Chain A
Amino acid sequence: EDQVTQSPEALRLQEGESSSLNCSYTVSGLRGLFWYRQDPGKGPEFLFTLYSAGEEKEKERLKATLTKKESFLHITAPKPEDSATYLCAVQARNTDKLIFGTGTRLQVFP
């Protein structure tokens, strides 16, 4: 069964304190792995798509990496505005649907 597990569930960081969020997945043929940011009461906001092991993508203070079993979202020198829930999702080949993890709730304090 295709599934996604994210850790930790919650993460509290001081402003400027870099860290990483983990997304472990099992999927029957990966089409893509997606990272989204979700603010309270809002819809998921697209961040990255990764398609193959070894791929990396960056956007501002965020960098996503992918292996055959997991993905990491690295946050460098976070700011309070980076506080949100970060969702990981996978899509298998021959399907339209995304399978989401439960997310990591990130809080960054000044």
Chain B
Amino acid sequence: DTEVTQTPKHLVMGMTNKKSLKCEQHMGHRAMYWYKQKAKKPPELMFVYSYEKLSINESVPSRFSPECPNSSLLNLHLHALQPEDSALYLCASSPRPFFVTFKETQYFGPGTRLLVL
């Protein structure tokens, strides 16, 4: 199984809503990532979890709250989002955090397309 799954595929939420995005992998990977991709732009890193601990936060606003309950699961909790937060949210995983050192790669999920009204 070399797949990263993400749910839901699409999400529409109001600015006062609370919602969560879910990401799952069963490859035994110990690093997981959240990226944000605006339309016609490249992905931008948001968070990195290394062995279930948050290791990188790329200055993301607190209305985005990541959680890694176990080594297979990564959540992104959303609260009081703004319309400019509408984007494709991509989850990725890699066997280890320093994946290129070991000549490994990241595996990306299909993403959750979020629309904030």
- Whether chains A and B associate is no
Residues of chain A having any CB pair with chain B under 8 Å? none
